[in-house]
Amino acid sequence: MIPFLELSNRLARRNHAVTFVSTPRNAPRLGAVPPELSARVRVVTLDLPAVQGLPDGAESTADVPREKVDLLKTAFDGLAAPFKSFVASRGSNDGEAGDEFSRKPDWIILDFAHDWVMPIADEHKISCAMFLIFPVALLAYIGPKHENEARPRTTTEDYMVQPPWVPFPSNLCYRRYEAEAIARGFRPNASGVSDIDRLLRLHHPSCRLIVHRSCPEAEPRLFPLLADLFAKPVVPAGLLLPGDVVDAAAPRAQDGDGESLAPLMQWLDEQPRRSVVYVALGSEAPVTADHVRELAHGLELSGARFLWALRPPSESDDSGAPLLPGGFEQRVAGRGVVRAGWVPQVRVLAHGAVAAFLTHCGWGSTVEGLFRFGRPLVMLPFVADQGLIAREVAARGAGIEVPRNDDDGSFRAADVAVAVRRVMMANEEGEALSRNATELQKVVGDRVRQDQYVDELVGYLQRYK
């Protein structure tokens, strides 16, 4: 939701009126629209329908365990009817009567999961643009519908090789444990529709543009390939990089539990420059208790200073064992901090004490850590696009991937420790990783060029409506 709101704000700064449609519990999570944009960005909520088995008040993946996510998709599909009524209530674009928000929109900008929007847009003669917040590499790997029908992938091994429609050498392939997870995305889930089928509705005629939170500097050669494969413009919106670090930190002086962030930032202030590895595995990665314990052992073995934004595992652990190894926090006291609450990631990554980022390689975290702040990565990818991102970052010499068991994705503490040391050491390899990350930040994170991508997107919206 955050990249969608960021795009909304940037369009509003270019004098366009944006209605951001969400649900009652999700809307407050977005944070406030900047006051200077309040006349141009309006947030509208539609009630999420109740679905048997889905907890009351659950409106996002943050509210449910992984086994309930498919029920959330079922509830989400129930928004089609109220959304259709909402669109029908918009007036005509003719004349000057009424405010801009009451007029029929020129565009509906949607995520891949909203496959039911296209027929509604058709009925009201509104153009659609699918805005994808994952890297172009994932769409290139998935490929267009006609290629999948002509050359279906039927075995795990089929998902472990570069797709035949990519005509040049690339890192578009998965390890076995990743491939099995990707294959599940091609199969129908409890909602009755597969995630890939939802995505491939972008072939619908009312979808005039495919827009990516990416850019050619971050992903060379892929934009023109996708335009050919999907026979429509594939447009970079830029990376929508985090704004000013002070502004990003300002809304919260404490986490959601009311705990002050001051001691955390004070600890960082006390550390030597470029001496800390920041550790965060995102909110969506399927991290288990075993992963957490192995990672803890690895950080302890590495000897490095670290700040760990620890989220509870996404899968329950019935072993009764403590989440962190016994005595872990006492043994790493002084050089390691574990923070179970919210952490201001942008502010932490910007801090001069931070030298590297141990990450699951989600696209948002990669954009923030590598392209915004030039931090080399220690990489622990889990699902979806994360493996593709990790392979490409490693190929560009800006990160080290922790070795995994190819069958089940497990990893060993000793391998975590080695990867952390390789990135943090002041030797030839460590300096090369840091230098390559800085160079990528200079090229990909050029704010003037990134802003131009939004201007160019507006040009496409004007020409293709």
* Residues whose CB is less than 8 angstroms from the CB of residue 154 and which lie 6 or more positions away in sequence, other chains included: none
pLDDT above 60 for 440: yes
Among left, alpha and beta (phi > 0; psi -120 to 50; other), residue 282 is left
Cβ neighbours of 322 (radius 10 Å): 11
H or E element: which one contains 120? Answer: helix 117-123
Range with the lowest mean pLDDT among 85-99, 210-224, 237-251? 237-251
DSSP of 415-438: HHHHHHHHHHSSSHHHHHHHHHHH
The pLDDT value recorded for residue 256 is 47
Tell me how far apart the alpha carbons of residues 329 and 338 are, in angstroms, rounded to a whole number: 8
Tell me how far apart the alpha carbons of residues 362 and 376 are, in angstroms, rounded to a whole number: 14
- pLDDT interval class at 251 (50, 70, 90): very low
* Domain map (residue ranges) of the chain: 2-242+446-464, 252-444
The pLDDT value recorded for residue 319 is 61
The pLDDT value recorded for residue 262 is 87
Pairing of strands 377-379, 41-45: unpaired
Contact 234, 227 (CB under 8 A): yes
The pLDDT value recorded for residue 102 is 82
Range with the lowest mean pLDDT among 246-255, 275-284, 383-392, 451-460? 246-255
Regarding predicted confidence, which is higher, 415 or 184? Answer: 415
Give the type of residue at 50. A
Looking at mean pLDDT, say which of 59-68, 253-262, 336-345, 367-376 comes out highest: 367-376
- The CATH code of domain 2-242+446-464 reads 3.40.50.2000
CATH topology of domain 252-444: Rossmann fold (3.40.50)
How does pLDDT run across 105-136, given as a tens digit for each residue? 999 999 988 889 999 999 999 999 999 999 99
pLDDT above 70 for 333: yes
What percent of the chain has pLDDT above 70? 93
With vertex at residue 439, the alpha carbon angle to CA 265 and CA 233, rounded to the nearest 5 degrees, is: 105
End-to-end alpha carbon distance in the chain: 24
How does pLDDT run across 180-204, given as a tens digit for each residue? 888 888 888 878 888 898 888 888 8
Tell me how far apart the alpha carbons of residues 224 and 124 are, in angstroms, rounded to a whole number: 31
**What does pTM read for this prediction?**
0.90
The pLDDT value recorded for residue 252 is 47
The pLDDT value recorded for residue 98 is 52
With vertex at residue 64, the alpha carbon angle to CA 62 and CA 65, rounded to the nearest 5 degrees, is: 110
The pLDDT value recorded for residue 246 is 43
- pLDDT interval class at 315 (50, 70, 90): low
Q: Tell me whether the CATH fold assigned to 2-242+446-464 matches the one assigned to 252-444.
A: yes
Pick from 429, 228, 252, 410: nearest CA to 344: 252
The pLDDT value recorded for residue 243 is 67
3-class SS of residue 270: coil
Pairing of strands 107-110, 127-132: parallel
Pick from 2, 30, 15, 193: nearest CA to 100: 15
Average pLDDT of the residues of the chain: 89
Q: What sign does the dihedral 117-119-124-130 (CA atoms) show?
A: positive
3-class SS of residue 386: helix
Tell me how far apart the alpha carbons of residues 309 and 358 are, in angstroms, rounded to a whole number: 10
- pLDDT interval class at 313 (50, 70, 90): confident
- pLDDT interval class at 370 (50, 70, 90): very high
pLDDT above 50 for 68: yes
pLDDT above 60 for 368: yes
pLDDT above 90 for 277: yes
Q: What is the DSSP letter of 93?
A: S
Q: Taking residues 322-330, what's their average pLDDT?
A: 86
